[in-house]
């Protein structure tokens, strides 16, 4: 049975009206959301999106700033820059399709005379080092390759050739350990305050003065904005604006280039691992510093990965990247006797005129300590003991000072067992053995015995557990020579801007002062002068004919399981020295045979004078 329209159920009509109202409300809400979204995009964010749209038509290229030059004290350029065409790949812009990506990389490998695995490994390693930065596959690419890539740009997405600044070393390996090297900033370094404002791919100093004075040398990057088409290619005349990079400042060092050459030639002439330091006695200015074996800093110029560095310099024994002048760890032998002399005089265990009988033998706890070569010197005072290098004399002093901290305290005051504060990274404090140190090792079962008087006796002649480097010995001798001012070694002389104007001069204050009685100084220097230039002195055969009066000391130190360490430390001119030279050679044998001749070559260059040959007679050789 059907109902007429007027007979419809009122409840059904209400439900229909409700549905229509709900639908209308939802539609109105959706329309309102859409309206407000459009209003937000057009009115609120319109300017931002317009700027983004415009930016899609432009590209900004970061322009690296040339690093400042590094010069010697006389203005001679030691490190400069040259421009290089670098083939770079942006991994993010390579084809997404694996086959297309592989094909492009294979072509690049062929063009760069490499292999596909090497190219992939370079991209992988460099991307880890500096995520997001272009990867340099090859430097110094030829013009023919540049033209080819430009003509076939569509076939090589993500590949560009950029003109970059590369460090240049006109003197080859000279002073390599001083300069250090430059490399791309890595992800860890970008988080450091010293690298604030840098971006992946930027170059920073990694070691040496390149690291220490990176902010001075690095400059400020510039930028170039250009207009591009829909494919990202530059349009003709599309350059919009340019912010020129600001070159870094130049760094002038305290180093004398000619003296540096002479020192390194003296080191390398022996064919042994070793190091030397030549330093101004009063100011602490380092006039020359070298370490052997050395390395070619050009080999560490990007692109190079840490893996490649390890492959080049992985030899743990030769360790060519180690600056032995500030990080060597050697017993010093008899060069330490000058330090022992100060400690004994200052602690009241000796006077400048007191005599000690040297019968060639010192006995302690049933152990015999003898002079080198079995020599016997009889009753001698401090000056003669230094001249002939009497071990028995110093064994006696070491035994007298055992039980008190005198020897260790004065050695530490003079710079042993501590960093000197030089403006170079990588300096090591070495080791100054003390009773507390050895006794702690004994309690921890790390050594077979506690401290004994024999340890102090050994330390008095620079043996035993002592570990020092040439810079520490140079500082100690300089302090004695200048009357008690402990200089702070430094290699930076001044900063110049690109126009050559001086921006800053470096005159670091002394580290500290110690009391050295003028009589002590005079006696010690006289003994060292006799050792170098008096008949019977341990290095008379080397320095006896040198026309400049000097005060020097040999050292021959046992260093098991290696052959003896060779040392020589010399002050000149005597009696008012202006320069100290400390030289050491690993497995060099007697100090007079190896280290002293090297020191002579350095002083010969410094003073412009040559030594005449002499015939050494008497005395000991060590």
Q: What is the pLDDT of residues 357-377, one digit of tens each?
A: 999 999 998 899 999 889 999
Cβ atoms 302, 203 nearer than 8 A: yes
Q: Rounded distance, CA 570 to CA 572, Å? A: 7
pLDDT at 50: 52
pLDDT at 225: 65
Q: Give the model's confidence band at 475: pLDDT under 50 very low, under 70 low, under 90 confident, else very high.
A: very high
Is the pLDDT at 170 greater than 80? The verdict is: yes
Please write the tens of the pLDDT for every residue from 128-138.
666 666 777 77
Cβ atoms 586, 601 nearer than 8 A: no
Q: Closest Cα partner for 620 from 389, 338, 395?
A: 389
pLDDT at 5: 46
pLDDT at 2: 45
Please write the tens of the pLDDT for every residue from 518-576.
999 999 999 999 999 999 999 999 999 999 999 999 999 999 999 999 999 999 999 99
Cβ atoms 275, 267 nearer than 8 A: yes
Q: Return left, alpha or beta for 570; rule: phi > 0 is left, psi -120 to 50 is alpha, else beta.
A: beta
Mean pLDDT of 505-511: 92
Q: Which residues contact 84 (CB under 8 A, 6 or more apart)?
A: 139, 140, 163, 164, 165, 166
Q: Is the pTM of this model over 0.85?
A: no
Is the pLDDT at 1 greater than 50? The verdict is: no
Average pLDDT in the chain: 87
Q: Which residues contact 85 (CB under 8 A, 6 or more apart)?
A: 139, 140, 141, 146, 161, 162, 163, 164
* 3 state DSSP class of 311: helix
pLDDT at 39: 64
Choice among 11-15, 217-221, 598-602 with the minimum mean pLDDT: 11-15
Is the pLDDT at 228 greater than 60? The verdict is: no
* Percentage of the chain exceeding pLDDT 70: 86
pLDDT at 130: 60
Q: Give the model's confidence band at 503: pLDDT under 50 very low, under 70 low, under 90 confident, else very high.
A: very high
Is the pLDDT at 337 greater than 50? The verdict is: yes
- Rg of the Cα atoms in the chain: 36
pLDDT at 371: 93
* Percentage of the chain exceeding pLDDT 90: 59
Q: Rounded distance, CA 68 to CA 250, Å? A: 4
In DSSP notation, 413-441 reads HTTTTS----SSTT----B---HHHHHHH
């Amino acid at each position: 049975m059907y109902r007429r329209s007027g007979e419809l159920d009122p409840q059904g009509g209400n439900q229909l009206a409700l549905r229509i109202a709900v639908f209308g409300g939802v539609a109105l809400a959706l329309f309102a959301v859409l309206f407000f979204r459009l209003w937000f995009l057009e009115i609120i964010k319109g300017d931002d999106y317009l700027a983004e749209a415009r930016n899609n038509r432009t590209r900004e290229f970061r322009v690296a700033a040339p690093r400042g030059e590094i010069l010697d004290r006389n203005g001679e350029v030691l490190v400069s820059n040259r421009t290089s065409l670098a083939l770079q790949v942006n991994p993010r812009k390579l084809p997404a399709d694996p086959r297309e990506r592989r094909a492009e990389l294979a072509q690049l490998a062929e063009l760069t005379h490499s292999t596909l695995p090497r190219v992939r490994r370079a991209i992988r390693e460099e991307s880890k080092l500096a995520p997001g930065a272009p990867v340099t596959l090859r430097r110094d690419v030829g013009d023919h390759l540049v033209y080819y890539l430009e003509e076939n740009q569509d076939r090589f997405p993500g590949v560009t050739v950029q003109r970059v600044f590369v460090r240049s070393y006109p003197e080859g390996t000279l002073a390599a350990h001083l300069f250090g090297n430059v490399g791309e900033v890595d992800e860890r370094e970008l988080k450091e305050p010293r690298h604030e404002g840098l971006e992946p791919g930027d170059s920073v100093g990694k070691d040496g003065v390149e690291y220490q004075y990176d902010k001075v040398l690095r400059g400020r990057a510039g930028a170039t904005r250009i207009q591009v088409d829909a494919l990202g290619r530059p349009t003709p005349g599309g350059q919009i604006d340019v912010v020129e990079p600001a070159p870094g400042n130049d760094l002038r060092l305290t180093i004398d280039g000619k003296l540096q050459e002479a020192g390194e030639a003296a080191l390398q002439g022996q064919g042994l691992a070793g190091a030397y330091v030549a330093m101004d006695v009063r100011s602490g200015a380092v006039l020359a510093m070298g370490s052997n074996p050395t390395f070619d800093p050009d080999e560490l110029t990007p692109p190079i990965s840490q893996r490649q560095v390890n492959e080049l310099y992985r030899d743990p024994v030769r360790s060519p990247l180690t600056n032995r002048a500030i990080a060597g760890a050697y017993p010093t032998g008899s060069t330490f006797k000058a330090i022992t002399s100060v400690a004994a005089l200052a602690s009241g265990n000796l006077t400048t005129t007191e005599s000690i009988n040297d019968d060639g033998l010192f006995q302690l706890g049933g152990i015999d300590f003898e002079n080198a070569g079995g020599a016997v010197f009889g009753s001698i005072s401090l000056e003669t003991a230094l001249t002939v290098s009497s071990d028995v004399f110093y064994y006696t002093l070491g035994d007298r000072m055992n039980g008190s901290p005198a020897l260790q305290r004065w050695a530490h005051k003079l710079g042993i067992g501590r960093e000197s504060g030089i403006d170079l990274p990588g300096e090591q404090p070495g080791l100054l053995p003390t009773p507390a140190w050895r006794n702690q090792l004994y309690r921890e079962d790390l050594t077979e015995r506690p401290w004994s008087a024999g340890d102090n006796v050994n330390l008095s002649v620079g043996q035993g557990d002592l570990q020092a480097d040439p810079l520490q010995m140079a500082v100690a001798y300089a302090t004695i020579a200048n009357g008690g001012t402990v200089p702070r070694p430094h290699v930076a002389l001044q900063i110049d801007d690109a126009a050559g104007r001086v921006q800053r001069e470096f005159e670091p204050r002394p580290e500290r002062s110690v009391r050295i009685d003028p009589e002590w100084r005079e006696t010690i220097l006289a003994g060292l002068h006799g050792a170098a230039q008096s008949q019977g002195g341990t290095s008379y055969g080397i320095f006896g004919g040198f026309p400049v009066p000097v005060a020097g000391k040999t050292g021959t130190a046992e260093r098991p399981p290696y052959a003896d360490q060779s040392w020589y430390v010399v002050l000149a001119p005597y009696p008012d020295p202006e320069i100290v030279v400390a030289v050491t050679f690993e497995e060099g044998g007697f100090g007079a045979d190896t280290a002293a001749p090297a020191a002579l070559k350095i002083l010969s260059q410094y003073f412009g004078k040559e030594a005449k040959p002499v015939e050494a007679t008497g005395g000991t050789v060590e």
